[in-house]
Amino acid sequence: MMGLLRKFNALFVSVVVVAVVASAAPASAAAGDPDPLSLLRGGGAAEQFGLGGDVTTVWICNSGTAADIQTFTLTDVVAWANSTISPYFSTISRGRYSNTFVGGGIVSASNPNACLAAGRVATSTSNVMVIDRTSAAGGFGGSGLAYYSGNSMTTGSLADPASSTSRGFWLGGGSYGLPSIGAHEVGHTLAWPHSGSGATGSVAPYDNQYDIMSGAGTDSGNSGVYDNFCGSLGPCEVTHTMAINRYASGWVDLDQIEIVARKGIVSDLNGPEAAGKQMALIPSPDPLVYYTVEARPNTGYDAVLPFGGVVVHTVDLTAACSTPICWGAARRQHPAVSAIDNANHLIGVGSSLTLNGVTITVTAATASGYNVSFTGTPTGCAMGPNPFTDFDANSFAFASVGCIRVLGITTGTSATTYSPKASVTREQMAAFLARLWRALGNTCSSTPAPFSDLAGSFAAADVACIYDLKVTSGLGLGTYGTAALVTREQMAAFLGRLWTALGKTCSTAPTPFTDISDSFAVPDISCIYAIGITKGATATTYNPKGNVNREEMGAFLARFWDAALI
């Protein structure tokens, strides 16, 4: 919902996005967003409705009194929407989404919700807009029904009529001619949420001027924030939305995203209307919370904003989302430096902001955006895509494998497979450990290891690395045993020794495991248990002689990364 603050006497109407558990969905509905970075947790309707051609049928509703009637016609409204709202979405989607408005007719109802319901029933296109002849400004909208079944969610698509999906939005008559309001409500039909500060105050959902979904700042001038929803400087201009919304809709590609996982990254972030990098991501210690960093220069639709720079937001999937699903409109996103009605989350040229151990510095303006440096290493395993088709998205290690992939610790067993249930070989273990060592900012020795069985091994250099670090001494008789499988006690020894090689101290406190008394790796098991790398096979057993599979190893490596950064 969006309303005009201060300038108009707004009519605020809450809209409830209906989400039901059901066995059936619209015929063309597909499973939730193909979310390659796992940023949205089955985020729902955004990409189902954000790619292709949307057709919005426009209805005029009479719900007011005879004295409270606007004089616009259906032709007027359709022409206004097609000349202002349609070009906006075509531009910000880079041509991947279009919205064409067509005339429907006149409906009558007693209140705004009833008006929208009447319009939906009569609509055969994918979206519906009902504009009331009352003078109040404001609106509400939603992306319609979601169908949950276990860990999956389905929604409608652009092939389904609004009468089936319950998509659509309502505008008060006072919103006619104000494109920011219409664009905001179309955003809600794409499952875009608000992004206000959430701070106490009447404008809390609408005090982020760097997002069309929440951009009502103050008119009073006391904070220097421009109200792009009909502020004193302009006639309700549209501005861009957050990059995470554009990603959710399928308008930002993987190669346009920088994942901040290592020290010393420098990136040119470009504005929403330019090619190139659109967003940087910084993880947090909570895997369901992360930060987005994006360029917002004073160009194109953002030319009306008084300040250009780099804006930083927090995206939180814990507050209103039900695990493992997060409906798009329930996603909590807000300025990373969150205080009511200000632009403290904007970083100007020459300024810095530190979040989760990463200092973001805007070093210079470029032709299309800003040059940004990221120094420091974040706490929390770096988020990253898990593209492996043989990996269950509900696996305990799904996110961990995405993490170690983006860190360069694994490339999978092929471009599309990871083989999660396959046992880890000693050759693979060497590669995992050496890459982990390098990802943590260290270098490896180039001196060959003294093992006779490394000829032709893809991991010969990695074995040399961990041999030099005293992480391995081989199997004896001058061999390393590249094809031998790694047991859980051997895994503990490998990781415990690598921990020591980092200059860190291992705990010698006893573990709760009753089955390790005769294991050579008791000290190492104590070490990795104390730092949170393993919890055991059960609460009281470790299973030291059992083999380690690649799924488990992904989790162990990601936990090691997190622990090493603390």
Domain spans, the chain = 19-191, 251-375, 398-565
Give the pair of three-digit tokens for residue 74: 């259906």
| Residue closest to 328 by CA, chosen among 191, 205, 158, 212 | 191
289 versus 123: which is more confidently predicted?
A: 123
pLDDT at 421 over 90: yes
Mean pLDDT of 134-160: 74
pLDDT at 415: 85
- How many Å apart are CA 434 and CA 455, to the nearest integer? 18
The residue with tokens 């008006």 is 115
| Sheet of strand 127-132, all strands in order from the earlier edge strand to the far edge | 97-108, 52-62, 127-132, 168-171, 139-142
pLDDT at 23 over 50: no
Quickly state the pLDDT bin for 487 (edges 50, 70, 90): very high
Quickly state the pLDDT bin for 381 (edges 50, 70, 90): confident
Omega before residue 235 within 30° of 0, cis: no
- How many Å apart are CA 68 and CA 124, to the nearest integer? 30
Helix (H, G, I), strand (E, B) or coil at 210: coil
Give strand ranges (E) for 388-506. Answer: none
pLDDT digits 0-9 by tens, 492-516: 999 999 999 999 999 989 999 999 9
Mean pLDDT computed over every residue of the chain: 84
pLDDT at 66 over 80: no
pLDDT digits 0-9 by tens, 523-563: 999 999 999 999 999 999 999 999 999 999 999 999 999 88
For domain 19-191, is the CATH number 3.40.50? no
- How many Å apart are CA 337 and CA 284, to the nearest integer? 15
